[in-house]
Amino acid sequence: MGAVNQIFFGQEGGIYETPSPFDDSCCGGGFAIVVGVEFISFKRAVDSARYAALAAWVEGSEEIATQALEFVVGCMEGGVTGRPDKPERLMTIDECAQAIGGADLKQVIRAADESQTAPAPLRWL
């Protein structure tokens, strides 16, 4: 039985136990929430770094701008343009960048990803 925070009597005279918020089962949930929040925060930071890197890479070239837009729509937002709805296999972000813009785009995205450091809870996993 878990730790008891309160004991009170119900309407029919029965005794009910209310588990403490610090019971054994709570800690895993709290850690999962922290990891989830950190994951979302880290994903936003990586996406921002990618957008900034793409903006610098595109500068002045219409062809590169088209590739960057296709990468954003197809790889970052999940809907590849002009391709089958169901790919035969999943692609990594590097493979997706390579397929759309070649080695140059792959290098830009990899550098943006490596510029971000995962927060401690995510590094522990």
**Axis-axis angle for helices 62-71, 93-114 (nearest 10):** 100
Is 14 contained in some domain? no
Taking only the tens place, the pLDDT of each residue in 76-96 is 887 555 555 655 667 888 999
Helix (H, G, I), strand (E, B) or coil at 120: helix
How far apart (Å, rounded) are the C-alpha atoms in residues 26 and 107?
43
Give, for 7, the enclosing helix (H) or strand (E): strand 4-9
| Domains in the chain, number | 1
Instruction: Say if CB 42 and CB 118 are below 8 A apart.
Output: yes
**28 lies in some domain:** no
Domain that includes residue 71, residue range: 43-124
* Inside any domain, residue 33: no
Does any domain span residue 105? yes
β-pair partners for 18: 6
- The answer to whether the CB of 116 falls within 8 A of the CB of 45 is yes
Residue whose pair of structure tokens reads 């002045």 in the numeric block: 60
Q: Domain for residue 114, yes or no?
A: yes
The per-residue pLDDT for range 21-59, each reduced to its tens digit, is: 555 555 557 778 888 888 899 999 999 999 999 999 998
Whether 82 is covered by a domain: the verdict is yes
| pTM of structure | 0.67
Residue 2 placed within a domain: no
Residue with tokens 């005279």: 13
